[in-house]
């Protein structure tokens, strides 16, 4: 901040004044990688600004490195399961949207497909966008081949056809079904279905 002529403490005061979003428990919680059209781009822009001002940006570098590490960790968790078919619950960068721009789930799916693992996807918002012919459906996807044909509208079918289920986004209507599935089937959870669920024989959380 100082290299740009800005008071660093004033910047932090502004950030911390927002108790409902930026510094709230909604964001400050262990979990999977972040994505979307804003935050990754903004972090890269701040790194570039720091570089232009000859200012080390260790924290910003670590943010992107840690984000990449979470994707790699999820990839390793799926590979460890030995599943050859994986059912993704969610593919957009967050629940409630069909936006795939810089979605870490898209990156993860593409890596698994490249390794010969079949990936099917339950994402009601992305499927609705395709089914309704929404302009720009699938926007942000540049790496997952045949995305539309991989979408499944029936969660039970996704689970039954999968060797492992990967929970990437939290959808209220899926929770009880997925909790039940975790009793007998491999479930890799990147979002946490429920606070009382911890890693065991079939169920593995990315940070719990």
User: Could you give the residue numbers annotated as active site?
Assistant: 38
Neighbouring C-beta atoms of residue 70, cutoff 10 Å:
19
**For the CA atoms of 112, 115, 120, 123, what is the dihedral angle to 10 degrees?**
20
Phi, psi of 164 (to 5 degrees): -150, 145
Closest CA to 139 of 82, 91, 183, 99: 99
Cα–Cα distance for residue pair 200/186, rounded to 1 Å: 10
109: its two tokens = 């799916």
Closest CA to 35 of 186, 141, 189: 141
Phi, psi of 195 (to 5 degrees): -60, -30
Q: Name the β-bridge partners of 151.
A: 121
Q: Who's near 146: CB < 8 A, 6+ residues apart?
A: none
Sort residue 133 into left (φ over 0), alpha (ψ -120 to 50) or beta.
left
Cα–Cα distance for residue pair 29/40, rounded to 1 Å: 18
């Amino acid at each position: 901040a100082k290299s740009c002529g800005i008071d660093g403490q004033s910047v932090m005061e502004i950030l911390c004044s927002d108790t409902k979003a930026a510094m709230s428990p909604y964001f400050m919680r262990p979990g999977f990688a972040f994505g979307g059209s804003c935050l990754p781009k903004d972090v890269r822009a701040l790194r570039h600004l720091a570089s232009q001002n000859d200012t080390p940006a260790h924290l910003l570098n670590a943010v992107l490195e840690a984000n990449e590490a979470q994707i790699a960790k999820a990839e390793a968790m799926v590979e460890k399961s030995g599943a050859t078919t994986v059912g993704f619950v969610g593919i957009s960068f967050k629940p409630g949207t069909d936006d795939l721009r810089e979605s870490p789930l898209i990156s993860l799916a593409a890596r698994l497909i490249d390794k010969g693992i079949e990936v099917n996807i339950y994402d009601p918002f992305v499927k609705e966008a395709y089914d309704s012919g929404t302009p720009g459906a699938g926007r942000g996807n540049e790496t997952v081949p045949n995305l539309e044909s991989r979408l499944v509208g029936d969660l039970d079918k996704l689970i039954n056809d999968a060797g492992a289920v990967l929970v990437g986004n939290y959808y209220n209507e899926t929770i009880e079904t997925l909790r039940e599935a975790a009793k007998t089937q491999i479930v890799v959870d990147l979002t946490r279905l429920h606070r009382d669920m911890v890693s065991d024989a079939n169920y593995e959380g990315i940070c719990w």
